[in-house]
Amino acid sequence: MASLDWLTKTPIAHRGLHDLNKSRWENTLSAFDAAASAGFAIECDVHLSADGKALVFHDGTLDRLAGKPGNIHDVSVADAAALRVGGTKDHVPTLAEALRLIAGRVPIVIELKGIPGRDDGLVKAVAGDLAGYDGDAAIMSFDHHLIRLFGRDAPGIPAGLTAEGLGDSDLEAHFSMLAHDIDFVSYNVHHLENRFVGFVKGRLGLPVISWTVRSPADKATSDAHVDQITFEGFDPRTV
């Protein structure tokens, strides 16, 4: 695996550089362009569309972001182009559209959102979109069933575990995923410090980023324990 120094070099804008969904909404092309223009790395979320493509969208349902009933896994690419996010001019983009817009200007970290029984082919779809992409990119997931497919379906793409929790059962589950060639970890800032993160950083020497940092106090916690923040709602350059 090539160096992942790029992963921790720049603060990562959570779902792009949105304004807490006032006028520039999360996971939109507008938020991604704002992040890239500001020089921030980008984190985004993807689900599998009804026709087997990666759609940039966080929730499993449409109501909060698109203002209508339904499930994201029932949405086709054509449907997504017609869905307006938060009533703005921004539509639900495909990952391919997002990558064309970002065009390697800043790194992108893609979180794969699993829906068991509805996500077969998601890892392959993301890998297909990243094939030949001229920029720094990584994938990650909370969903262990997807992480188990990373090595087979997305070989060569830096891969991470998104995680949280402080209990023994949570931590042991995270330790079990280290058998799947994880390259980095993204951990809940409110659950730092813990023995899993300490092992990953101290013993394995892997990069660790945090989520989601929403204040200078959160940033101070993150800076004390891990390598970089995933942030929203404030400008970390002013802290």
pLDDT in tens, 11-25: 999 999 999 999 999
What's the rounded mean pLDDT across residues 107-126?
Answer: 97
Domains defined for the chain, CATH in brackets: 5-234 (3.20.20.190)
Asked if pLDDT for residue 1 goes beyond 70, the answer is: no
pLDDT band at residue 196 under the 50/70/90 scheme = very high
pLDDT at position 234? 98
Asked if pLDDT for residue 125 goes beyond 80, the answer is: yes
Instruction: Answer whether 179's CB lies under 8 Å from 150's CB.
Output: no
pLDDT at position 2? 73
pLDDT in tens, 19-70: 999 999 999 999 999 999 999 999 999 999 999 999 999 999 999 999 999 9
Asked if pLDDT for residue 87 goes beyond 90, the answer is: yes
pLDDT in tens, 214-230: 999 999 999 999 999 99
Its pTM stands at 0.98
pLDDT band at residue 89 under the 50/70/90 scheme = very high
